[in-house]
Structure 1
Amino acid sequence: MISLLRERDLTAGEIADQFNMTKPSISHHLSTLKNAKLVLDERNGQNIIYSLNTTVVHEVMGWFLEMFSDKVQEEGFKHDK
């Protein structure tokens, strides 16, 4: 779902069309992503448009890169000794 939303904003129906899952299952997954603040939703008439919360995604990516960088530095120091 995140990969799809990386491409463009989508309705729940458009997302559901990409998966072999029931609509309640899609709704549950979208709710989980919303609770994690990875996905935003906005009502547009009768549709709800879902989009990727790029602010949080950038924060998470920065955190992973920082962890990876720290790990590389620790490993580098171990090999130097």
Structure 2
Amino acid sequence: MLTLDQLRHLLRESAGADEDVDLDGDILDTGFEALGYDSIALIETVARIGRDHGVRLDDDAVTTVRTPRELLGLVNDANVLRAG
């Protein structure tokens, strides 16, 4: 299960982070664009999730997520299906 803190760490390591954005705040429902992450940075983050956590996500599904909450849900749902 991917946690918000783990996602924050991955976001910080991915391209696109604006130093003025506070990732430590309540970001669950903040849009990735507002956090300074474009689609390329999000794809890089998803690739790291796959590499670091073994969770592979469908490219089409990834393009629909707009917030960290949605991405965590997608990752954790995929992780449950993989484990089940």
Structures share a fold, TM > 0.5?
A: no
Scaled by the length of structure 1, the TM-score of the pair is: 0.32
**With structure 2 as the length reference, what TM-score do the two structures score?**
0.31
Higher relative contact order (CA 8 A, sep 6+): 2
Report which of the two has the higher share of helix.
1
Indicate the structure with greater strand content.
1
